Amino acid sequence: MPRSGDRYVMPDGLGEYLVVRSHEETGGEYVEMEWSLPATAFAPPPHRHPTQVESYELLEGSLDVMIDGVWQRLATGESATVPVAASHTFRLAGEPVRVRNFHRPGSRFDEFVERQHRFVTSARYRGLKHPSTALAMAAAWHEHRDLLVPTNPALRAAVAALAPIGRMRGY
């Protein structure tokens, strides 16, 4: 169970995620994290949170955030809030960034990050483009579908199709 101070360092330039306040510690009200992402970090596919508001506050650098198809660049000190069920993602603007991130309610978003970390730091991880990664991520996204859902219908179908295979293989 994640706690404040837990730091999840991801391989392959995926960044570092620090739990500032966990779901448990806030009574589920929110999860607060600080992300440190290299300029080449992998961003999630466009997705929505069925029951959560997500917000980004730039602590260092700049970051492009897409909310319902509209991109905006955030610079240090600026923030953006993603309403419940809005399609969103982000992309790096060519420099490392530090981002304060909130999910309200917490909905155990910190446990989702912890699960991703367990996989990408395990002996089973073979890199972002390996088929086992697609199986593991599909299983995690499917298990947490109350938390996040891909907005692309083809990706949603792929998650639904690959998740049972990923679970069967122990991901």
- Reply yes or no on whether the pLDDT at 12 is more than 90: no
Question: What is the tens place of the pLDDT at every residue in 98-112?
Answer: 999 999 999 999 999
Q: Is there a domain that residue 2 lies in?
A: no
Residue 42 makes CB contacts below 8 A (sequence gap 6+) with 12, 13, 14, 128
Percent of the chain having pLDDT more than 90? 92
**What's the pLDDT score for residue 62?**
96
- Reply yes or no on whether the pLDDT at 42 is more than 90: no
**What's the pLDDT score for residue 123?**
92
Boundary (domain end) residue, out of 76, 104, 132: 104
Q: Are residues 91 and 40 both part of a single domain?
A: yes
Task: Find the mean pLDDT for residues 71-75.
Answer: 97
Range of the domain at 45: 7-104
Q: Are residues 17 and 96 both part of a single domain?
A: yes
Task: Find the mean pLDDT for residues 53-80.
Answer: 97
Give the span between the Cα atoms of 155 and 166, in whole angstroms. 15
Specify the number of domains making up the chain.
Answer: 2
Phi-psi group of 44: left, alpha or beta (phi > 0 → left; psi -120 to 50 → alpha; rest → beta): beta
Q: Tell me the pLDDT band of 66, cut-offs 50, 70 and 90.
A: very high
Q: Are residues 148 and 131 both part of a single domain?
A: yes
- Reply yes or no on whether the pLDDT at 93 is more than 90: no
Q: What is the CATH number of the domain that holds 62?
A: 2.60.120.10
**What's the pLDDT score for residue 14?**
84
Task: Find the mean pLDDT for residues 67-91.
Answer: 98
